[in-house]
Amino acid sequence: MNLPETLRGDLKRIVNQQPLFSLMNYYKGVPISYAASLRGFDLSSATVGVHPYQAVCMQLEGHTRVQSKLLSLAVQAQVTLNLKNNTARLSEFKRVLYVTERRQFVRIEPDQRIEVEVSTQNWMVRGRLEDISAVNIGIFLPGEEIFFEPEVVFKEYNNLRARLTLPGIDQPLEINGVVARSLPDKNHDYRVGARLLPNTAVQQAIRTFILKQQNLVEHELQHLYEQMQSGKN
């Protein structure tokens, strides 16, 4: 797919004004998003200056998401990196949904298994954490743990309680929420998403966990970038 005509028009304005837009990738479930500058573009590609940590993620994933309020839409693009000057050539664009950059919505997808106990309507089931933010939680429930009708128990707006221990957080968290979505998966597994009810202590613990994960990831990305620059990777 070439650059849409409306997107090319917006890019011309960006080249002239040199504002910044953001790129989005993930590393170990942590969203990595830094500002990028547009260096130039043609009919089928754009060249951008990128942050070193973003460059590592783009190298690992082979693509990135381009987002800006100045653009008509968010797009995903394939990446060809030039580490000598920290630039990337973006091509093969396709439309994607815009991902919010608001801090309270930063969502972590843990790369380690985190057990979750879910209680709702007099049922208790064990699952694992899929993702978490200060306002939402996603939980995977294996089919062998489900002895009820999940589409009834996890009906939208039903209350649920989740108990879990996040790495680096001393005390288990008791999370109260409201079902926002529930989807059947293969082998009778189930996925449940819930909105967290306001709880200052719980939300602060989640933010602390997210910040620790982000700090750990930044150290790893710095090390990987140095390896890439030295040609050892």
CB of 28 within 8 A of CB of 111? yes
CB neighbourhood size of 79 (10 A): 22
Provide the pLDDT for residue 104.
46
In CATH, what number is assigned to the domain containing residue 69?
Answer: 2.30.110.10
200 in the same domain as 113: yes
Provide the pLDDT for residue 6.
65
User: What's the mean pLDDT in 46-71?
Assistant: 90
Provide the pLDDT for residue 100.
58
Residue 175 in this model has a pLDDT that exceeds 80: yes
Least confident interval from 99-108, 149-158, 223-232 = 99-108
In CATH, what number is assigned to the domain containing residue 166?
Answer: 2.40.10.220
165 in the same domain as 119: yes
In what helix (H) or strand (E) does residue 40 lie, and over which residues does it extend? Answer: strand 30-41
Tokens of residue 13, six digits? 């304005």
The CA distance from 8 to 122, in Å, is: 56
146 in the same domain as 65: no
110 in the same domain as 148: yes
What is the span of the domain harbouring residue 130?
105-213
* β partners of residue 63: 78
Q: What is the pLDDT of residues 114-169, one digit of tens each?
A: 999 999 888 899 999 999 999 999 999 999 988 888 888 899 999 999 999 999 88
CB of 85 within 8 A of CB of 69? no
Residue that finishes a domain, picked among 48, 80, 101: 101
Instruction: Indicate the number of domains in the chain.
Output: 2
